[in-house]
Amino acid sequence: MLENYFPVLLFILVGLAIGVIPMLAGWILAPSRPDSEKLSPYECGFEAFEDARMKFDVRYYLVAILFILFDLEIAFLFPWAIVLDEVGTFGFVAMIIFLGILVVGFAYEWMKGALDWE
């Protein structure tokens, strides 16, 4: 039973090694000579105007979430369009329901003013 999970474990270990070994090599082999210029904040050649941890407007995040939502919608639509003949009427109705739910959500966001940028 456990021998079935060996490829998964091997995949995880190789992935971790590919991610960790270059970082360790850079940390060990790279010269470390910090000075005041290297440690200073950089913003287009000027001193930083504000705190880097300032609050963003919530609408920025709403627009980002909407982008991800509709990007995923396209990721579902392309494979569905390719196999539309195979899925038949049931697949067509299921996708129409899916798109209807997305349209209702989009209309709700629009009516609430989430897409209005001031």
Where residue 102 sits, what CATH number does that domain have?
1.20.58.1610
- Which pTM was predicted? 0.48
Domain coverage including residue 27: 2-112
Rounded CA-CA distance 16/32 in Å is: 25
Number of domains in the chain: 1
Query: What does residue 113 show for φ and ψ, rounded to 5 degrees?
Result: 85, 20
Q: Is residue 86 part of a domain?
A: yes
Q: Which amino acid is at 71?
A: D
State the Cα–Cα distance between residues 113 and 118, nearest whole angstrom: 11
> For each of the chain's 118 residues, which pLDDT tens digit applies?
778 899 999 999 999 999 999 999 999 998 888 887 777 766 566 666 666 677 777 777 777 888 888 888 888 888 888 998 998 899 999 999 988 998 898 888 888 877 777 6
Nearest CA among 99, 25, 26 for reference residue 69? 99
Could you tell me if residue 13 is inside a domain?
yes
User: Looking at the domain assignment, is residue 52 inside a domain?
Assistant: yes
